[in-house]
Structure 1
Amino acid sequence: MTVVRAVPSTLRREWAAVATTVSILLLGGAALLPVAVAGTDSVLGPGASAVSAVGLRWLLPAATVAAFELWFCLRYLGANRPENDDGERVDADGGAAADDAGGGDVLDAVDDGRAVDRADSQTAVYESLGAPNLVTLTRGALFAALAGFGALAPRPGIAWLPAVLYGTGCVLDAVDGFLARRTDRRTVLGAKLDLAFDTTGFLVAPIVAVLWGQLPVWYLSLSAARYLFKLGRGLRRRRGKPVYDIPDSVVRRPLAGVQMAFITAALSPLLSPLATRPLAVIVLAPSLAVFARDYAVVAGWYGETERA
């Protein structure tokens, strides 16, 4: 039975404060970015209008990603309750396992509403987001800022910013989980935000790297594979075909860590395109193989299977 939970007004106000803070930071970033791109003299001189356009170009994709992330958080505020309070799985169809091969999954979190409201009706919604969720939202803001650089050409003044933004977001991925365990504040909302923002980072970062000429366009097949996996699994379910659980694997999380480290390095000036291309093949192939194997398991074509 689906239970609709009332979201505490204090929680809504905290979300509004977060949204306001993110908006101010994005506007501030758009105002300061031209300084890094062209230097203070250019900003204050005759070319100021042209330079300010740089900030606007950065702001549009950054604000778009941030708006999605904030909407996603608002939609699931009612899930700000203890995780697994009734044995509930955040990803009801086993998708979290496949996501570890290269990131989280926003499709399940948006489309699979069954896993959001199946907990006991007596479980209260927390009245505050809590430190772990605030750290996760900070990750989202960093990835939104990263998206803006896809609209800019690489320049010496901003060459390191994409790598710093993405690398910091990856480090915070470990921090929010640690805080959730340390403070015993693991929530359904936090798990969903973590999956959604992982996917955002794994989508945005390679796109920026490709647009900046640091990665070959075929590296985007990693992001495409993730969505195709979810699409294929969803279609099987809608058609009434069997969908099986994915068994645990010791390689998924290490592969995700390798992907994060490689993408961070590729976004930096440390690696030239000549170096990243052969490395991309080595890093990408195992993750694609895991996605292919996992879909074969989901479809019942490979290995021992258990109905999801």
Structure 2
Amino acid sequence: MSKFGRDRRIHLGLGVGLPLLAAVALAVTLRWVLPVGPTGQWGLSPAVVAGLCLAGQLWYVGYRLGSTRPGGVQSRLLGLANTLTLFRGALYAVVAGFAVLPPETSLAWAPALCYGVGIVLDKLDGTVARSVGSETDLGKRLDVAFDTFGFVAAPVVAVSWGLLPAWYLSISAARYLFVGGIRWRRLRGHPVFDRPDSDLGKYLAGIQMAFLTIALVPAAPTGLVHAVAPVVLAPSVAVFVRDYLAVSGRLYRHTQGQG
């Protein structure tokens, strides 16, 4: 077989075969471990929803890595750090599956547990990758994709169950709007500057993760969660606004102009 044909088969397997395999495996596992019934709201199965969410994330990462040498992706795919990251993505997909179930389900504790374990793995996979010297572009892209998706899955479930107000979904939209704004600028030929060199966004993301986990706990007082929500949300949204003003040149214009 020619190198072109071999590379094409590898790309097809990573871009289509792997997401489909992961979707089926997660859906079957979820139906076995969490037998919540065949369907949820709107006739949707939470197991199928979870599988599709995981497949979508893996397809997106594979699409973004289209220019990467396939052999390199394949050889690093099943490393320990990436395996932990993939497991974290699967847990976030399970959380998303609960969006089609009513809050009265006997498994109402599962989203908080899955999201909380995902947070622990978020800290662990990076530590493992750095300690064994196996940080890869694939791992970084998986990490970012799953982080972003986690900030969609958890708020959607919390809002649909009445645990958080609907406006809290703005944290879910912020990342996608930020990335979309950057791509729009590039399509129009406008310059895109660097984001501010600050760890503030990371700290606020950690606070968001902890708060979302607490909000998903069935025993958490909903009234108090709603009262604290704007205090937790506002700084994170403000950082996204600051970062977009910076990359679009509207902030620190004088300094960037000198660079």
- Are 1:195 and 2:144 counterparts? yes
Contact 1:160 1:269 in 2 (8 A): yes
Query: Where in structure 1 are there 5+ consecutive unaligned residues?
Result: 38-50, 80-112
Q: Distance in 2 between matches of 1:214 and 1:307?
A: 48
CA RMSD of aligned residues (A): 3.0
Q: Cα deviation per residue 1:136-187 (whole Å; 9 max; x = unaligned)?
A: 1101111111111000011362121000011111110111101111111011
- Are 1:65 and 2:53 counterparts? yes
Tell me which amino acid in the other structure corresponds to 1:230: V
For normalisation by structure 2, the TM-score amounts to 0.83
Q: Distance in 1 between matches of 2:215 and 2:209?
A: 10
Q: Say if 1:7 and 1:172 are closer, same or farther in 2 by CA, change over 3 A.
A: farther
Which residue of structure 2 lines up, in the alignment, with residue 29 of structure 1?
Answer: 30
Tell which deviates more after alignment, 257-266 or 274-283: 274-283
**Following superposition of structure 1 onto structure 2, how do residues 1-308 of structure 1 map, counting pairs within 5 Å?**
6=7, 20=21, 23-34=24-35, 51-54=37-40, 57-75=45-63, 116-117=67-68, 127-129=75-77, 130-155=79-104, 157-303=106-252, 304-305=255-256
Contact 2:99 2:157 in 1 (8 A): yes
Q: Say if 1:306 and 1:264 are closer, same or farther in 2 by CA, change over 3 A.
A: farther
Query: Where in structure 2 are there 5+ consecutive unaligned residues?
Result: none
Tell me which amino acid in the other structure corresponds to 1:72: Y
Which structure is richer in relative contact order (CA contacts within 8 A, separation 6 or more)? 1
Tell me which amino acid in the other structure corresponds to 1:30: R
Alpha-carbon deviation of 1:25?
4.1
Name the SS for the 1:127 alignment partner: helix
Q: Distance in 2 between matches of 1:306 and 1:133?
A: 39
Alpha-carbon deviation of 1:250?
3.0
Alpha-carbon deviation of 1:232?
1.6
Alpha-carbon deviation of 1:228?
1.5
Alpha-carbon deviation of 1:294?
1.0
For normalisation by structure 1, the TM-score amounts to 0.71
Q: Say if 1:306 and 1:199 are closer, same or farther in 2 by CA, change over 3 A.
A: farther
Contact 1:66 1:144 in 2 (8 A): yes
Q: Say if 1:237 and 1:53 are closer, same or farther in 2 by CA, change over 3 A.
A: closer
Identity %: 44
